[in-house]
Structure 1
């Protein structure tokens, strides 16, 4: 944490008193104030560190996947739903349906929501190229 937490706490208190903080907070958030004590500042700091680590992305990924989990196969850069497994291989099926493929556990990471959406958009684009709509 900062070498001078008391100074940081006083600066935060001054900003809050001036109303700078609450202008950034949505209206539906209750306007409660807690005195910026050292333990509170340490909790805030720890929370920010945890959020920063989460933003870096998953560092560890599960070695065991459950049926229905959504994973990204790093080898093929495809996103699929886990259908089952045999030994170190998991069977993944595209989110929009289709033929399954096998992926090694070491090549699989949890899919982000954006991965899943991108996969569905790619599949919709592929289908539209293969089967263009009929013009009336």
Structure 2
């Protein structure tokens, strides 16, 4: 029996099932042009912890440049990456996961679309330039 709550209006996630959206690399692919994309993002976060978004409107040229800059940033020595700091809106971070830091190691970049502050950082300065190009 259907409920009158707002959750009854949500699409059944098994149609399409998130597993049918998993790419050949094992990463869920979510199409933002679909009406049920929000729910699939939730499922992907719960089941996979990450996902790939398609039909988001970001130009492929920008994505390619951003991936290139990310690869450059992550390949720097740890001492250089740490110069970017763990900022509130932009910077490099790393963390050992697990009670004793023995489960895994995570590296990440914190990004913000505020180009005025992005270009100020030493290690990830080029990201600010990329954001300015996209916003222009």
What TM-score comes out, normalization by structure 1 length?
Answer: 0.22
Q: Which has the larger radius of gyration?
A: 1
More strand by share: 1
